[in-house]
Each structure stands twice: as structure tokens, then as C-alpha cells.
Amino acid sequence: MFPSVFQILLKRKILLSVLFVLFLIYHSIFNSFTGQILFDRVFVPMVRGELRGKIRKFSPLYGIRIEDLALGTRPEWGPDPVLQAKGLEFSYNLPYILFGRLKISRISLENATVRLKKKKGIWNVATLLSGSDSGGKEKASPPPAKESPISVIRTYLPVSAFARLELKNLDFGISSEEGGKSTEVGMAGLDLDLEIDTERFSSVPLNLSALGLIDDFKLSLNPEKPIRIRFRDPLRQMDHPFRLTWIWERSDTRHPFRSKMDIGADKIRLKIADRLAEPFGFSFRYDLDYSPVSKEIVLKNLKLAVNEDEWLEGGGRISGIGSELQNVHFALQKSSIRLAPISGFLTDLGIRGISLQGNASLAPLLLEGTSKELRATGEVKASGLDLRIGAKAHSIQELDLDWDGRFRPQPTEEATAEKPLPWISLLEIKRLKALYNGSSLAGTFFYSGDSSLAAPALDLKLKLDRFSLAPYVSGLSGLLSVDLNVKGRDFSDLNAGLSLKLSDFRFPYGRGNSGNIGLNAKGNYTFLFFKKPWALERIKATPVSVSVFSPDGERALFLESFVEIGIRDSLALSVGGLKIEADLDELIPPLPLALRESLIPLRSQIGSRLSLGGNLNYVKKEKKQGIDGNIRLNLPALEIKDGKLNLSAKVEGTPPDKIFLDRMDLTAFSGKLALSSQGILTRAKPGETAALGDFSPDLKGSLKLISAEDAYLIKGLTFRGDLRLGFGWQGSDLSGTLTSKDSSLYVSNRLCPSPECKLYRIDGLNATVPFQHDLSVKETRNLIEGNKRKFVLNYGRMPEPNFTIREIVGTHPSLKGVPFEYIKPKTDSPGLSANLSYSENYLRMDFLKIHTLDGEVLGKDVIVNVGSGDPERMEYSMELRVKDIDLKQLLPGRSRGKIDDGKIKADLNLWGRNLGDPIPNLNLFFSVYQIGRDFGKSAINIFAPSNLLTDFIYTSYAVDKIELELSKGLVYAVILFKRSVLGTLVNLENNQVSQQRMPLANFLNRAQSEIETYNK
């Protein structure tokens, strides 16, 4: 037995000897002496400056301690070292890793001074490492490759961690010299003791949830002495003690939790340009204790003060910690906030753009109850608040808010559409009154989460008066007044009444601004939330009305409608009972110039008063849309009182790829005028030409005007008959047929019966005219040339006409109240007949025949080159022959007997370009080869003014032929004479009189004067 015991003791002795030898070897190698050698030979050469220190402890397993540490830069940075410390220690326990423990025993810096300096954009610390260049600038490194961000650090084995940081009497300063100006900021006397101990973990999340791993926490910041903060720049300087105490201790359940804070300073004196500013002081403090014996958290001495004003003062307690139900009591007893001292201090700091004035109070505030039912009451008051930040001013002359609430800090119910705020049991704003920048706001609010109440659970009344828009909405100005009332049994069904008034409203458009406009709006609204909290599904407005007034107070626009909007699974809009009334005479003057210029021509066309009404439905689901509705139109100026538009369309794609026009019907004049169309609009592919915006149409439709008896339509127009226009629009090709069956038109100047009455009747209009127009034509080619030697000679066999008018009867051109037949039928022939066609953007008329003034007018080759539709590029050409028309019928009865022969025969050829300005661009050749003596003399008087000598000469001859040519606004005329008996005494060269280059205006004036001689 003894030998075995001896052997065991011998083995242990050998093991202890080996361990002792290893211990001696480790400490002989790793000690303060070898640490000093390593420090001097390795770390000191790495620094481009001065580095010195004494190694008092060195161990790879347990850390290092350095005393009398100094780190200095080169002489040009001055004598002050970057870092100087009495002691620097970094202690850890590496063997603890074997037991799953990461322990940093101590990181401490004792009696340290840190000085950071910046000159010419370079920091002194940047010049310390030997690898840095003289400029202290690092070479740009290539950007790192993009990697997915790491959210968790994993240790794979469960470990715990401990760390402790100590700073004792730290003096820290930063100085900068830029452009000859120096700035210095620093603090002295900073003490910090931070200790963290964690639970065991195998992963560390890189977010705030990592705080849950902390098991023991201790923070002590300057618990006994204040720090000293210094600041200096060319204008200001300060060196003043500050209280910076914060203690936060959290330990296990056997020890209490404690937190204390005291931050502030008294009578801070800031020196500005050799003068001392007014002293300024502030403080914030609290004491927070937790006792595990009484299970109570107590908050004491909560105070925020500025100078002598106690902005906030209060305290409270929470008892029953750890039990199911906790009791809460917190009170804010005092609050007196004066903003003037803050404003003065900011001004002393050189912050000139901020000005604060006025008084406010946040007390009393009381929180009382349990963790299941907590009551809060309070008042907020303010007076004379004036906040100016830059150019913006906020003036609150008075603020009074009195409120009371009951809350559930731990709600057991889930948020629903009926109760989206389950943590609120009751909330009441008993009084709200605010006077802000000349406007006023007043109201009350009540909400209860108790569904057993008979009264509405939500009731809001809010009234805003004379709120100015200009400071808050760029470009807009005006005074806004709002009256809002909201009621509801719960939040799923809210009923709101809104009344809005906007006076002196102005808005910009283009380069101008509107005048002062008034606007009133009111409506009753229902907001429905069916499934989820705050998930609005439907809005109903019953009804909404908007009135717009001119600067004189006259109503210019009125809108009223019932609106329903659904936004549950798709967007659905329904507008019913729409009513719009506009008075353009009142609406246009106050509008900006750009809008006035666009609306004034519209007013001249449709009149000053108009009204619209009807219904509209719109649905959008995913990429499909549907529109249908009907609109009623009333335009008194156009005498349209029953205009109706029915529309039904579907849209596919976003943006739209196809538009299916199922129906578009427009009717007016008791259904006598009807336009209908249907088809498809397809978005043009890239590179394709679209005929209608971005779309290529495939449409069919018709325009009809049908009345079995005389029916008054618009502006003196009466119609009877059957007039139709059928069309098809495919791509850029627009084609169809114009038809008329025995139609009649009556046109008057609406002064009948009176001496000024002018009435015309077009009777027996029959037509079957095809047309085809190419919208892709963008240019009008010059294809028509006139020739004055082209005359109508012989038509031969004429085809059946497709356009005829039986007769045109109207007021006599020179006699008031006397009817006159302008065109009249002859035997079985209509008064006017022709062959019309429109194709390839040309209007052609052939075989024209008109019976008028007991003669006839024949025409052919009547062509209008429409081309692209630009009037300035259009061309026209026409050849006519006049046969035996009696001009005496156009004269008053008393003048007809003086005319021996009123019949004339003539040929007419005209052509030209630019219908935008037709007169200067008209070319005309008129050849009269038969004319009576009296009218011949009148022609002579137009070209050669009458006197005794010319009358005697021209009376010696009879007019044989007259040729008149108009070119470029000038008239050229030649009158050929037949020799008479007196002509043997008076001889004219070539038997003719000519007139060259007579301005057209002179010609027309002379012609008018000559015509007047027949009306005397």
C-alpha cells in the first residue's frame, strides 16, 4: 500500500515541479523588462514622432500596463503631445476562454490629456505613423467588393462576456486653424466607469435587440465632481464648470436598481468680443430607485430648469412590480416656460436667425391608475408665443388645451376596424383654443372605446377661421375658414360634415396671377373602414357643393354632385346628380391672363352662360378600366337646352394600350340632331404614325339631322328633312357619305318681323356625296394652276347630279321687306345641280348649273386642294359661264325702267392659294362679252371717272366687251367699244379704254359708288 501512495505523491511532485518550471520560464520571458524591450524596439520606431512610456506589466495571457505614457508629434505641431497619460492599462483573462468566458478585466486611462490639432486640413494624428506621407493624406484604395450585409455574429459555442472601461480625470481638447482663424473646444475632469456583463449567447444580432443580452450593467459618469468645458473662437470664448453626473446601475434581483442624472450649469458667462454676455443657466435632474423589497420604482426630483424658471417639476412611483397588476402615479406639479432667456442666449452665441418670446405651461399633468387602466389628465397653456426662424414667423397669441384620457397600457384586444386604437379606453379634449398668426382654431373631441355607450363613440368639432395660405403654400394666397364635424359609433363608420370658405384666393398660372376669387364648399361625407384598421374602403359624399365667386361677389361657378368612391379591391368612382353652372362673364375676368386668352374665344362661340348635368361611373381593377355615364348640356347662347351625351368605354393596359368605345351617343334639339360612334382605339407602335393623339382609330359612326316638320334649331336656323353623314375612321383614312332627302333650311337674322329682317329659305336639298380624307398628309403640294383662257364651252351629255337644291328664296338684296328668288327651278330642273366628290384630300365639283335671274350659270373644274388642312396652304380653282342673267332684278323698282337691257353674258375664271388671307392671294379673270348700254356705261365710270368730255367721248361708242383681271391685289381692265355714228368724229386708239394696276380697294370703292346711283 505504501509504495503505491509513494508513487502517487512522486507523480504529483513531478507535475508540480513541471508547472513551477513553466511558470518561471513564462515570467522570465513575459515580464515588464521584456515588454519594455518590445515597446522600445518595435512600437517606438513605428511612430513618426516621439513615443515613450514605462511598461509596468506585460503578459500575453493577462494584458499590459504602461505608465508615464507620452505620444508627441514633430516640432512644427508645437510642444504639446497628442496623448499624455499617468497610466494606460488593457487587462484581460485569456485562459477564461477555456470556460466559455470572454473577459476584458479592465481598460483604463488615468490622468490623461488628449490634444487633437488640425492645420490646413491635416490632423496631427495623421502624421504619426511612419507609413503616412508628409501631407497626412492616404492613398485612395480601390472600392471594396460589394458583399451582403452581416446581420448576426455567430460564436457557435455558448459564451458570456464581461468588459470594464475606466476613464479618470480625462482632459480632451480639439483645436483647428483654418484661414488665419483658430477654434478650440475641450473639456477637463471627465470620469467614466462602465461595466457590462452578459448572459451566455451563441450569436450577437447587429441591432438594438443585442441589448437584451446584457445581464449586469453599470454606468457612472462624474459622480462626485463637475467637468470643465472650454470653448474659444475669434469672437467668443467660455471656460465654465458643468455638472455632468449620470449613474445607472443594474444588478441581480438581490440588489436594487438605481439611476441618477444631474446635467447643467449655473450662470454660464460667455465672453463675446471682450464683453460678457448675460449669464445663462440650465439643469436637468432626476433620481430613480427600485427596491425589490417593496417592489416599487420611485422617480423623485424630476426637474428641468432654465435660469430661475422651472420648466418642469414632478415625480411619481410605480408599485407592484412583478405582480400581475401595477399601480402608477405620476404628477407634473409645476411648469413655467419662458422663451426669452433662450432667445437671448442664442443671440449671444451669434445665432441671429432665431427669435423666441412668450410663456407656456405643461402643468398640471397627472397619470394615475393601474397597468390595465391608466387615467391621464392635463392642461397645456401658452400666451404671447412668438417664434421666428429666418423669414418665417409663428405667433401664437393664446393656446389653451384641456384634455382627459383613460388608456390601456396592456390591451388584450387586437386592433380592428371598429377599434383601431385598443389601448385608448376614453379620450376627451374638453377645450381647444388657439390664436395663431391672426387665425383662430377652436374645437372639442370625444372618443370612447366602450361600445355600450348609447351616444356616438366619436365626436369631433373643429372650427378654423381666417387661416392665411400664403406663408405655407407657395404661390397661393387667401384666407381659409373651415367648420368640421365628425361623428361615429366607432372608427369603421364615420360621418363628417365639412364647410369651407376661402376668401381673397389668388393662384398663379403661366406668367400671371389670378384676381381675388371667393370659394365656398360644403358637403356631408361618410368614411367606411370594413376590414382592417385605417384601411379606408369607401367614401360617400351626399352631396358636395362648390361655389366660386368673382371679386364683386357674383357667383361665377357652381358645382354640386353626389360622389361615392370605393377603394377596397379596385378603384370605383360614381358621380351622380352632377350639376355645373358657369357664368363666363363673371368667371373669366379674375383668371390669369393665359387662361383668359383661352376662354374668351370659347365664350364668343358658346355664350357666357352654360350648365352641365348627369352621372358618371368609373372602375379600375388591375390594368383594366371602365367608364360609362351620361351628360346633359345646356347652352342658352347656342339655344341648346337638351343636349345629352351617353358614353360607355373600356380601357386596357397601363398606360392604355386599347380603348374600346362601346357607345358614344350625342343628341340635341329634342333628338333631331344625333351623333353616334363606336369602335376601338389602339396605341400606335413605336415608329408608326398615330392619327388621334397616340392612338390609331377604328371607328364607325353617323351624324343625323332629321325632322318631319319645320323645327327651329339654333340662332335663327330652322330645319326640315333628312340630313345624314355616315363615316368610318380607320387609321389615317376618314371616309363616308353625306346624304340629304328633300331637306329645307330657313335662316334668319332673328330680327323678323321688322324692317331689318333678313330671311332666307333653301328648299329641296338632295345629296349623295361620298368623301375620303387622308389624315396622314402633312404637306399641301401646289397642284392647281389658273389659266384665264379656260372657259366653259360645251358640256355635252351631262351625268345625273348628286347634289341639287330646288330653290333659294330670301330677302331682296336692295329692297327691305321684298322677297326675292335667288335660285329657282326651271321646268323639271332644280335651281342648282352639280356633281360633288371629295377624295384624296381634294374637293371637286363638276357640271354645275344654276338657274338665277332668268338666266343660268354653268361651271366646271371647281377644285379645292385641302391637303394637310392648313388654310394657308390650301388651293382653289373655278371656271364659270354666265348666260343671260338679268341684273335689273337686283335693282329697286324705280330704277328698273331706266335700264334698257340688263342681261349680261360672261366667263369667269378664278384661282388662288392661302385661304387664311384670301383677298391678296386671289387671281381672277372676268370676261363680259354681252352687256347692255347702261350697265356698260357704269363699267366705264368705274374705270374712268365721269365728266362732260369723257361722257361725250364714251357716248359715241357702244361697249362690245369687258375684260377684267385681278392679280396680286391689283386690277387690270380693258373695255372694247363698237363704233357708232358719232364715232366718226371721235376716234379712240384700237377702239378701247384700258386701266392698269388699279388697287383693289379703289376698284371696290368705285364699284360701290356706282351701284349706289341705282338706289337713289
Q: Cα(467)–Cα(399) distance, rounded to whole angstroms?
A: 16
Tallying the residues shown for the chain, one arrives at: 1016
Helix (H) or strand (E) run with residue 585 in it: helix 584-587
- The pLDDT of residue 955 is 59
- The pLDDT of residue 997 is 75
SS3 340: helix
Closest to 300 in 3D by CA, of 289, 291, 308, 310: 289
Q: Cα(989)–Cα(979) distance, rounded to whole angstroms?
A: 12
Are the C-beta atoms of 531 and 420 separated by less than 8 Å?
Answer: no
Residue 124 CB neighbour total at 10 angstroms: 23
The three cell numbers of residue 625 are 378600366
Q: Cα(47)–Cα(741) distance, rounded to whole angstroms?
A: 110
SS (H, E, C) 81-97: CCEEEEEEEEECCHHHH
Burial class (CB in 10 A: 0-12, 13-18, 19+), 820: middle
- Checking if the pLDDT of 132 tops 70, the result is no
Burial class (CB in 10 A: 0-12, 13-18, 19+), 722: middle
Are the C-beta atoms of 612 and 588 separated by less than 8 Å?
Answer: no
State pLDDT tens for residues 151-206: 788 888 888 889 999 999 999 999 988 877 888 999 999 999 999 888 888 888 88
Cis peptide before 420 (omega within 30 of 0): no
Q: Which of 660-669, 707-716, 897-906 shows the lowest mean pLDDT across its residues?
A: 897-906
State pLDDT tens for residues 944-984: 665 554 555 555 566 677 888 888 778 887 877 776 554 45
- Checking if the pLDDT of 137 tops 50, the result is no
Q: Cα(216)–Cα(254) distance, rounded to whole angstroms?
A: 12
Are the C-beta atoms of 717 and 724 separated by less than 8 Å?
Answer: no
Contacts of 102 (CB under 8 A, 6+ apart): 96, 159, 160, 161, 162
| Secondary structure (DSSP) of 890-952 | GS-HHHHTT-S--EEEEEEEEEEE-TTSTGGGEEEEEEEEE--HHHHHHHHHHHS---HHHHH
- Checking if the pLDDT of 22 tops 60, the result is yes
Q: Cα(679)–Cα(699) distance, rounded to whole angstroms?
A: 4
pTM of the model: 0.69
What's the rounded mean pLDDT across residues 224-233? Answer: 91
The three cell numbers of residue 495 are 360621418
State pLDDT tens for residues 785-819: 555 555 444 445 567 889 999 999 988 877 777 78
- The pLDDT of residue 138 is 46
- The pLDDT of residue 471 is 85
State pLDDT tens for residues 77-129: 778 888 899 999 999 888 888 888 888 889 999 999 999 998 888 888 888 76
Kindly tell me the number of DSSP H helices and DSSP E strands found in the chain.
10, 55
With pLDDT > 70 as the criterion, what percentage of the chain qualifies?
88
- The pLDDT of residue 486 is 94
Are the C-beta atoms of 769 and 727 separated by less than 8 Å?
Answer: no
- The pLDDT of residue 950 is 56
Longest dimension (CA), the chain: 188
- The pLDDT of residue 454 is 53
